[in-house]
Each structure stands twice: as C-alpha cells, then as structure tokens.
Amino acid sequence: MKKYVVIIVLSFFITSFTSCTKSKESKLQGKWRKIDVTNVDVVKPLTIWDFNSGQLTIYTLPIGQTEMIEESKATYSLGFNGTTYTFNIIKEISGKKLSWVKGDGKIVKLNDDFFKYMNKNGYYAEFVRY
C-alpha cells in the first residue's frame, strides 16, 4: 500500500512541475518588437516579428501610422540544444528576401518578455514582447 502512495505522490509532483513549464514554441509565440541597438537617437519605423505555429511574419509600422505593413513571411524551425534555442528559416513564403536572417541562428536569453537573436551571418537583434 505504501508503494502505491509513493507512486501517486511522485506522479503528482512530476505532473505539477512539468505542467508549469512553457514549451519553447509557446514562449516564442506572438508579436515581438525589434529594439534598435544602434543609432538610438534616430527615429525609425517599428519592426515587428510575429511567431505563429512555425510561421514568421515580419512587419513594419511606419512612423505616425497605425497599420502594420507585412514585409516578409517564412516558415521556421526551432530547437533547443540544452543552453540556447536554435532558429532557422526553412522556406521563404512571400515578401522581401530574408537572407540576413537565414543561417544557423540562435536565440539566447528567451523569457516571457525579452530575447536576443544572432546568426552566423553576423546579424544581431534584441526583441521585447509587443
């Protein structure tokens, strides 16, 4: 009988802890605003990356406008190597080419409201939840 109680208690704790952690995909889901880390004194349009179930859509929001303009759309893959998230463009669907984003990319410091992205092509960007 004690054996069953121990199994039930362990099952409860394992279920409790695993159900509270977000999957890598759900952490990234949604809209993210790119933070311009260079020329911070220059007013520029906003750049928004929208991650939605394996599809990335990149928008710009021109200064003084309320409607976002779709710039590019692509599918992506997301993995986890134990320390960082790997991010790669699989296929460009429409819009401007994403050659600057393509290439073995990684997402570091991903949490609910912030992440940094970099790839082997030298592209680096920081994002906050939009």
On whether residue 2 sits in a domain, the answer given is: no
Report how far Cα 78 is from the mean position of its chain's Cα atoms. Answer: 9
Higher pLDDT residue, 71 or 110? 71
On whether residue 15 sits in a domain, the answer given is: no
CATH number of the domain to which 36 belongs: 2.40.128.370
On whether residue 53 sits in a domain, the answer given is: yes
For residue 126, the surrounding DSSP H or E stretch is strand 124-129
- Token pair, residue 124, equals 């680096």
Model confidence at 20: pLDDT above 60: no
Find, among 45, 43, 68, 67, the residue nearest to 58 by Cα: 68
**Secondary structure (DSSP) of 35-75:** E--S-TTS---EEEEEEETTEEEEEEE-TT--S-EEEEEEE
Give the total number of structural domains in the chain.
1
Domain hosting residue 109, numbered range: 24-129
Please give the share of the chain, as a percent, with pLDDT higher than 70.
82
Model confidence at 16: pLDDT above 80: no
Apex 66 CA angle, 75 and 99, nearest 5:
30
Identity of the residue numbered 75: T
Model confidence at 130: pLDDT above 60: yes
